Amino acid sequence: MNLTIVDYKSGNISSVINSFEEVAKDKVKIEVTSDLNKIKSSDKVVLPGQGSFKRCVDGLNNINGLVDTLNEFAITNKKPLLGICVGLQMFADVGYEETETKGLGWISGKVAKIDNKNGKYKLPHIGWNQINIIKDSKILKDIKNNSHMYFVHSYEFIPNDKNLVSSTTTYSSNIVCSIERENIFGTQFHPEKSDSLGLKIIDNFIKL
């Protein structure tokens, strides 16, 4: 099986690469690339994302043909794709970080700043927090409810269809932690920084 981690210069993705390689243990061929042909021929794709929504979207758009290739992979061919942090947020129609920016439009919704209740809650939301699993999820298989995951974000994905949300966390409100629709998966938390439970989520995705 071939798995591609999309490298579009969105910050340091070494921990994503290391954790996937640790779980794959030579059973899966992992490529880290923005080469369109390698992405097209992959069995699975991981879309990481660090930094601002706008910067990540710009990073995708700066590589000629990359957005079209991702659309073909996930939407037309319905192959498994996992978005992590801003990688998940970019599934939305629009994001409001820095400036209004069009997303991939895969899952209808928006990305807006977390309401910190006039400073009552620190932003970014950073560190360990419990997740509330609200529906069966292929990538959360064997993860117990109220498990702790690692977060770093100031913006949240608000999907129009709440039935696609597989887990939430309580911070200033119920914040979406993970999304699942057919072959498209996303986590707001960082599985690659969430110790053994995060590695289990990565393993679940690899074994889909």
Which residue is catalytic, options 56, 97, 153, 190? Answer: 190
Is 85 designated active site?
yes
Which residue is catalytic, options 97, 156, 180, 192? Answer: 192
Is 72 designated active site?
no
Which residue is catalytic, options 56, 85, 125, 156? Answer: 85
Q: What are phi and psi of 46, to 5 degrees?
A: -115, 130
> Are 42 and 27 within 8 A, CB to CB?
no
Q: Which residue spans within 54-183 are E strands per DSSP? A: 81-84, 94-95, 101-102, 109-113, 125-130, 132-133, 148-153, 155-159, 165-170, 174-181
Gyration radius of the chain's alpha carbons:
16
Is 190 designated active site?
yes
> Are 97 and 111 within 8 A, CB to CB?
yes
Catalytic residues: 85, 190, 192
